[in-house]
Amino acid sequence: MRATLCLIGAMLMTAALPVQAARLAPEARIAKELNGRVAGKPVDCIPLRQIQSTQIFERTAILYKLGSTWYLNRPASGANFLDRDDILVTDTHSPNLCSIDIVRLLDSGSHIQSGSLGLGKFVPYTKPKG
């Protein structure tokens, strides 16, 4: 009986390894997502209305997609709160999202605030012309 329980436990732990590996490599996922794109000069703000989608890389960065230009933001503070399932809530007083703005993070299941972060500069990534 104990051998069976140990075997089941080992199988469950092994099954969880690919999921853990995917969560442990946000830098690799960023590199894959930005593959074929070239970084430009960092900017302080991006237009809120042009943001088509966002992607969170846990404890690392947020990718904002605006048409053919994508902006990677590595928060100046609070990046450790980032989780790929978070909801980003921004309270801005201008039509732009800027590096001085604070973003609140809500848990997608409970909608309870799970943290906040201070944005950094936005690094634009575009596909090279050619």
* Number of domains observed in the structure of the chain: 1
Tell whether 77 is covered by a domain. yes
Collect all residues with Cβ–Cβ distance below 8 Å to 91 and sequence separation of at least 6.
Answer: 101, 102, 104
- Is 20 within a domain? no
Domain membership flag for residue 86: yes
CA distance 97 to 67: 16
Within a domain: residue 23? no
Q: Which tens digits make up the pLDDT trace of 62-99?
A: 999 999 999 999 999 999 999 999 999 998 989 999 99
Contact criterion met (CB below 8 Å) for 120 and 73: yes
Is the pTM higher than 0.85? The answer reads no
Picking from 124, 106, 105, the residue whose alpha carbon sits closest to that of residue 47 is 124
In a domain, 89, yes or no: yes
Task: Give the up-direction half-sphere exposure of residue 65: CA atoms within 13 A in the CB hemisphere.
Answer: 11
The verdict on residue 11 lying in a domain is no
Amino acid identity, position 126: T
Asked, for residue 76, whether it belongs to a domain, the answer is yes
Domain that holds residue 118: 28-126
